[in-house]
């Protein structure tokens, strides 16, 4: 290691930016030097494996043009999906991702010759996927035109002589009440940016500008996304919150560079990608062609809250108008946090009878729960998984495979073996277990070591 330059070490560990490294180290509950040692150690171990652990998080995607337009750390990387397609010799056919996120499965599958179906409940992520598909469907020589259009929009927008958008302002007050998320100087610019967008005709460059705006909302606010969205600490606030317009300028310039620097490493989208139903829980209602493979990473139990974490972006896009809109999204997402639990939404499925391991875990969860919603959350999570994968079974072609990237968790001191419980539930539905591979170790919120695995099942 002593012979390596700092540039080489950065490239091996996959972080070029020191502040990103600090954030990731904190998230992993290690100090920076322990974290670097850990990453180096892992990279060495992984260099002989087919699936590199570094591929199973979004970290790699942060430096890939297009993926960096709106960094989304909850995703896995395109290389991970490509390595799965290679490892399991997936033939051209339809791949379904019920939890598409930013669409990593779609784009990687396309590059490997596959069409996809997908579900994604969050309208922000649906918007990002759609815009990215539109750009990547174009031939490389057309990107320059879009880039130039984007620069024209930038010049017009950055005059900031637009009216502050009163509807967006009203929605903010309805949804967020008295919470102050932005410094006044940024809030005004954001309201103006919304009016500007509304005054422009629909176009791809306008959608790209919208992405640039969306990705500047959190950085120009008092909030920080570190796992979950939270207020910045006093120390973090010592650094002045950057001006929204300055962040936006830099973001647009990055995007313009991606569009015009002749980068041909990003492949053109050539296949069809269809949102078959926003909500994976409704897959049983869809009529579609037979699905050959499912590649997905479902939300983790007690993991990130995908709606709350994107509330600023959902508000800007007009999807949050009243406080009840937040609740209505929470009712639709896969229940994975205690605040998602709503007793009236409990499915009429005796889920404990489908998995012995789950019924044993539920005993410990009920014994230790300080909040009645804790065992209900686990019950809902697995019942909804049962609902999704039961609905999926008749849609599969014969010889289909499910590749599910999932992690276990620890809640209130109780270890929930999500992966093994899910395997038992899937077997109960009628799927056959093929294999389970460990992808990496993680740290739970309480600091315990938990794992991330790939489950393979067949129909």
> Which residues of the chain form contacts with ligand SAM (CB under 6 A)?
72, 74-76, 98-99, 101-102, 104, 119-122, 125, 279-281, 297, 299, 306, 332-334
Q: Which residues contact 151 (CB under 8 A, 6 or more apart)?
A: 252, 256
Q: By three-state DSSP, how is residue 138 classified?
A: coil
* In the complex, least distance from residue 148 CB atom to ligand SAM, rounded to whole angstroms: 29
* In the complex, least distance from residue 253 CB atom to ligand SAM, rounded to whole angstroms: 25
Instruction: Taking the CA atoms of 203, 208, 212 and 217 in sequence, report the sign of the dihedral they define.
Output: positive
Residue found by looking up tokens 């990496």 in the block: 440
Task: Report CA Rg, the chain.
Answer: 22
Question: Of 14 and 98, which CB lies nearer to ligand SAM in the complex structure?
Answer: 98
Q: By three-state DSSP, how is residue 364 classified?
A: helix
C-alpha 416/C-alpha 365 separation (Å) is: 9
Question: Of 241 and 334, which CB lies nearer to ligand SAM in the complex structure?
Answer: 334
C-beta atoms surrounding 434 within 10 Å: 13
DSSP 189-202: HHHHHHHHHHHSPP
* In the complex, least distance from residue 58 CB atom to ligand SAM, rounded to whole angstroms: 6
C-alpha 194/C-alpha 167 separation (Å) is: 10
Helix orientation angle between 18-27 and 32-46, rounded to the nearest 10 degrees: 90
Question: Of 100 and 153, which CB lies nearer to ligand SAM in the complex structure?
Answer: 100
Could you tell me which of 442, 359, 365 has the C-alpha nearest to residue 407? 442
Question: Of 115 and 119, which CB lies nearer to ligand SAM in the complex structure?
Answer: 119
Question: Of 153 and 320, which CB lies nearer to ligand SAM in the complex structure?
Answer: 320
Instruction: Taking the CA atoms of 59, 60, 62 and 67 in sequence, report the sign of the dihedral they define.
Output: negative
* In the complex, least distance from residue 335 CB atom to ligand SAM, rounded to whole angstroms: 9
* In the complex, least distance from residue 227 CB atom to ligand SAM, rounded to whole angstroms: 13
Q: What is the DSSP code (8-state) at residue 372?
A: T
Q: Which residues contact 282 (CB under 8 A, 6 or more apart)?
A: 391
Residue found by looking up tokens 């460990």 in the block: 438
Question: Of 124 and 421, which CB lies nearer to ligand SAM in the complex structure?
Answer: 124
* In the complex, least distance from residue 405 CB atom to ligand SAM, rounded to whole angstroms: 7
* In the complex, least distance from residue 222 CB atom to ligand SAM, rounded to whole angstroms: 24
* In the complex, least distance from residue 62 CB atom to ligand SAM, rounded to whole angstroms: 12
Question: Of 252 and 291, which CB lies nearer to ligand SAM in the complex structure?
Answer: 291
* In the complex, least distance from residue 295 CB atom to ligand SAM, rounded to whole angstroms: 9
User: How many DSSP H helices and E strands does the chain contain?
Assistant: 16, 11
Q: Which residues contact 198 (CB under 8 A, 6 or more apart)?
A: 165
* In the complex, least distance from residue 452 CB atom to ligand SAM, rounded to whole angstroms: 11
Q: In this structure, what is the dihedral angle of CA atoms 300, 302, 306, 309, given to the nearest 10 degrees? A: -140
**Are the beta carbons of 149 and 308 closer than 8 angstroms?**
no
Question: Of 208 and 334, which CB lies nearer to ligand SAM in the complex structure?
Answer: 334
Question: Of 67 and 205, which CB lies nearer to ligand SAM in the complex structure?
Answer: 67
Q: Give the 3-state secondary structure percentages of the chain, helix then strand then coil, rounded to 5.
A: 50, 15, 35
For residue 458, the cross-strand partners are 401, 432
Question: Of 84 and 426, which CB lies nearer to ligand SAM in the complex structure?
Answer: 84
């Amino acid at each position: 290691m002593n012979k390596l330059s700092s540039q080489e070490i950065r490239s091996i560990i996959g972080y070029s930016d020191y502040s990103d490294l600090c954030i990731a180290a904190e998230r992993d509950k290690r100090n920076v030097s322990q974290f670097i040692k850990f990453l180096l150690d892992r990279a060495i171990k992984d260099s002989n494996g087919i699936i590199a652990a570094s591929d199973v998080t979004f970290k790699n995607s942060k430096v890939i043009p297009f993926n960096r337009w709106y960094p989304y750390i909850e995703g896995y990387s395109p290389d991970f999906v490509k390595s799965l397609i290679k490892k399991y010799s997936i033939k051209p056919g339809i791949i379904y991702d019920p939890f598409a996120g930013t669409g990593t499965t779609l784009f990687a599958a396309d590059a490997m010759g596959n069409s996809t179906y997908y579900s994604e409940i969050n309208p922000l992520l649906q918007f990002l996927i759609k815009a990215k598909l539109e750009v990547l469907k174009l031939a490389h020589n057309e990107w320059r035109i879009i880039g130039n259009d984007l620069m024209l929009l930038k010049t017009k927008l950055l005059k900031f002589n637009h009216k502050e958008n009163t509807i967006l302002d009203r929605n903010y007050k309805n949804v967020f009440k008295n919470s102050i998320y932005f410094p006044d100087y940024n809030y005004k610019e954001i309201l103006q940016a919304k009016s500007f967008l509304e005054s422009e005709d629909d176009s791809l460059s306008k959608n790209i500008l919208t992405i640039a705006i969306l990705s500047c909302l959190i950085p120009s606010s008092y909030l920080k996304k570190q796992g979950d969205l939270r207020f910045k600490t006093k120390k973090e606030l010592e650094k002045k919150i950057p001006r929204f317009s300055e962040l936006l300028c830099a973001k647009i310039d990055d995007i313009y560079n991606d569009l015009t620097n002749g980068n041909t490493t990003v492949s053109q989208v050539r296949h069809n990608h269809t949102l078959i139903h926003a909500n994976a829980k409704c897959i049983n209602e869809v009529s579609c062609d037979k699905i050959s493979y499912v590649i997905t990473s479902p939300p983790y139990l007690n993991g990130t809250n995908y709606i709350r974490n994107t509330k600023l972006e959902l508000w800007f896009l007009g999807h949050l108008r009243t406080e009840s809109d937040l609740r209505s999204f929470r009712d639709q997402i896969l229940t994975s946090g205690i605040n998602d639990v709503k007793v009236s939404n409990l499915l009429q499925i005796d889920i404990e009878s489908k998995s012995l391991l789950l019924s044993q875990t539920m005993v410990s969860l009920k014994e230790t729960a300080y909040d009645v919603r804790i065992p209900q959350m686990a019950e809902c999570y697995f019942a909804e998984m049962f609902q999704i994968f039961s609905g999926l079974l008749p849609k599969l072609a014969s010889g289909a495979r499910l590749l599910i990237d999932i992690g276990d968790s620890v809640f209130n001191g109780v270890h929930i073996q999500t992966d093994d419980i899910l395997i038992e539930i899937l077997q109960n539905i009628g799927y056959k277990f093929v294999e389970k591979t460990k992808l990496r170790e993680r740290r739970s919120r309480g600091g315990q070591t938990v794992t991330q695995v790939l489950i393979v099942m067949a129909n």
